Structure 1
Amino acid sequence: MNIHEYQAKELFEKFGVPTPKGRVANDAAEARAAAEDLGGANVVVKAQVHAGGRGKGTFKNGFKGGVHLVNTAAEAGDIAEKMIGQVLVTHQTGEDGKLVNKVLVAQSVDIAKEYYLAILMDRESRGPVIVASTEGGVNIEDVAEKTPEKILNERVHPLLGLQAYQTRKLAARLGFAGDQAKAFGKLLGALYKLFIACDCSMVEVNPLVLTPDGQVLALDAKFNFDDNALYRHPEIEAMRDPSEEDPREVEASKYGLNYIGLDGNIACLVNGAGLAMATMDIIKFYGGEPANFLDVGGGATKEQVTNAFKIILGDAKVKGILVNIFGG
């Protein structure tokens, strides 16, 4: 499950992660009011969709950019009016784009240096790992490919938690010293506490910024949560925005089905995630393209299987269905 940037800011504030002040707006009037409350000048208006590349995106109405720096409250309202209710296309949304229903109006920050910081679950070590880099504000995959030496990794023992020496080591390797190192340590400690308390599978801050006056702030964030732990967090479950998700995946989750839509035309219905992935590999090996990943689980009921077929057949691209059930 993912959440919007404004919701991420709410979690940051709750757990004490330093971040610029901001407010969500549902229309132009609310955007103007939010900008006025933040001082009017030097605020940023950001389209709220579950996709990266918003700043370089284009709306289908011709308006360019999903992130704009403005100097007056009136300008904030004008920009919001051009965004809300319009479809934003970025390199991550595909050509269909995503409908913008809200904008975030936040304080603009002077930036001396940008960094990358993330905490995620590492399958190899079976615990959290902190990933950091001095190359922030850019696609971290590009950094890993072109200059892998600039990617720092620090594994955290799941029982011992984040230790002070690990925070100091990361601060030093990122070039923080003195009060800056203390500010970074405080932010990282709060971020790790949030990661564990909310059962996150990933928290990514890109960019993490150092301001000219020495503040270390989380400027933008991306969250992923462990869907299997959401029953413990009804307040986070309430943040879910079904309009940002594939409606087939939303429907499948109602019946306890693990479904991910793909672009092919051969649908799969399988029991077991490993077998489902192997089935997709077989389809690819013989030149086909899978239309979905669908794991009905080991104890699927008649109702689950019936609804699984309904979801599959609701995909107009599907030309055939491969059912692969292991019965033991």
Structure 2
Amino acid sequence: MGKLLENHSKNLLREAGVLVPKHVVARSPEEAAEKAAELGFPVVLKALVPVGKRGKAGAVKFAQNAQEAFELTRELLAMTVRHFPVEKVLIEEKIAIAQEWYLAITIDKKAQTPLIIASLKGGVDVEELSQSAPEQIMTKSIDPILGFAEFQAKELWSELGLTGKPLTLATQALTCLVKIFLAKDATLLEINPLVLTENGDVAAAASVMSVDDSAMYRHPELAAMVQLGSERTWRPLTDLEKRMVEVNELDPYRGTARYTEMDGGEIGFLCGGGGGSLLSFDALVSFGGRPANYSEVGGNPPERKVLGITKGILAKPGVKGLFVAHNITNNTQVDVLAQGVVQALKEMGKDPKIFPVVVREAGVNDEAAREIFTKTGVEYYGDNATITEAAQRMVERIKALEISGEGI
């Protein structure tokens, strides 16, 4: 997934007709003091990083004058919030709030449809609210074919208890948010809080937005806004992970190749099949192996995509062997996978007769794959061995390498 910084998400909201606070971005204390004065005090200062719950992290502050804006911005720029160093600060007008509500649209993974979550109790952790007062939260699925009509938005807020002008404005805001969510292939659009101001307006005081990075080719306008990151370990991408994102974007209509770098590790990991990948990873760890990364390929990726991801796996310092496994592929051509892996070994100068490579693959064109792998000295297993058995063999070879004292 890719997250948008709050200034970008709020610009999209404003363009769609949702009221948001006036805001600017500063990169230094001096710039913050100047821009805050132009905006008018009091102001809200937020660390501009692609994570939520910044308030709990002490990354949201309030300034009453230019000197406070200067000092507080200096504090924020010295922070690291959930692994993200703060490089920019969002400065917003401080709006007078009468009520705080909660509104989010996300993907219901079980139903595979967009899901609206709303509550008249905002500005709090919705997970905590769902435990303490679940009756205060309302959910509504969005039909992927029929969409979500304005009358449905009105019904939702009405059932929560809104009436009059607040009901009308909240309905308009929700209708706009649904349109943005669907139009931008979003995976999350959270407004916490959505506020009723003392002037009677409804505004998005804080926003978090994530989009499906697999759909980025449809949204070139978002390319400069999206902060790409690992969907499994949300943090800034490493340099190697950034290179692998580029590899995955090769032939975007065919196959995926994803890479997450682990701390340390010595076994390069290239697997597929979702649950099969997790099984393979856990099997390596259970036998004492230390994976250097977590990578999946699937959807029948072309040879050059397999080549690129494998070269990336082998490029990490400290990798002493390579483990490649699927359970039984139903669409990925194993011979194409084999060609990509073997070519990567060749280009990276890794001789399988010395550098341990264990492959467990079965499925489409696996006999051709067996020939490609074994010809180069790769230890290959088909459906005559389980993933667990192959993982055990991989760890045995790495341990034998350590005992012999041969470094790769």
Bin of the TM-score, shorter chain as denominator length: 0.7 to 0.9
Shift of residue 175, structure 1, vs aligned partner: 2.4
Q: Is 1:22–1:105's contact at 8 Å kept on the other side of the alignment? A: yes
**Which residue of the partner structure matches residue 53 of structure 2?**
53
Alignment match of 1:202 (pick from 180, 188, 194): 188
Query: Which amino acid is 1:30 matched to?
Result: E
**Which residue of the partner structure matches residue 254 of structure 1?**
246
SS in 2 for 1:296: strand
Query: Which amino acid is 1:75 matched to?
Result: E
1:162 aligns with 2:148: yes
Alignment match of 1:87 (pick from 79, 91, 95): 79
Structure with greater contact order relative to length (CA < 8 Å, sep ≥ 6): 1
Query: Which amino acid is 2:79 matched to?
Result: V
Aligned pairs (5 A) from 1:96-115 = 97-115=83-101
Structure 2 gaps, min length 5: 230-234, 249-256, 327-360, 365-408
Shift of residue 42, structure 1, vs aligned partner: 1.1
Aligned pairs (5 A) from 1:270-281 = 270-280=271-281
Mean Cα deviation higher: 28-37 or 281-290: 281-290
**Which residue of the partner structure matches residue 130 of structure 2?**
144
Aligned pairs (5 A) from 1:1-328 = 1-39=2-40, 41-57=41-57, 65-84=58-77, 86-89=78-81, 93=82, 97-241=83-227, 245-247=236-238, 248-256=240-248, 257-261=257-261, 265=265, 268-280=269-281, 282=283, 292-313=293-314, 321-325=322-326, 326=361, 327-328=363-364
Of structures 1 and 2, the larger Rg is shown by 2
Shift of residue 171, structure 1, vs aligned partner: 1.0
In 2, Cα distance between equivalents of 1:317 and 1:102: 35
Q: Is 1:263–1:289's contact at 8 Å kept on the other side of the alignment? A: no
Shift of residue 100, structure 1, vs aligned partner: 1.2
Give the TM-score, by structure 2 length.
0.69
Give the TM-score, by structure 1 length.
0.84
SS in 2 for 1:2: strand
Query: Which amino acid is 2:237 matched to?
Result: D
Shift of residue 105, structure 1, vs aligned partner: 0.5
Report sequence identity in percent.
36
Q: Is 2:84–2:236's contact at 8 Å kept on the other side of the alignment? A: no
Give the RMSD, CA atoms, in angstroms: 2.8
SS in 2 for 1:245: coil
Q: How many residues align?
A: 313
Query: Which amino acid is 1:245 matched to?
Result: P
SS in 2 for 1:55: coil
Q: Is 1:130–1:154's contact at 8 Å kept on the other side of the alignment? A: yes
In 2, Cα distance between equivalents of 1:143 and 1:267: 42
Shift of residue 16, structure 1, vs aligned partner: 1.1
When residues 323 and 145 of structure 1 are mapped into structure 2, their CA distance, relative to the original with a 3 A threshold, is: farther
Q: Is 1:154–1:166's contact at 8 Å kept on the other side of the alignment? A: no
Once the two structures are superposed, residues 80-99 of structure 1 have per-residue CA deviations (whole angstroms, 9 ceiling, x without a partner) of 23333x2324xxx1xxx321
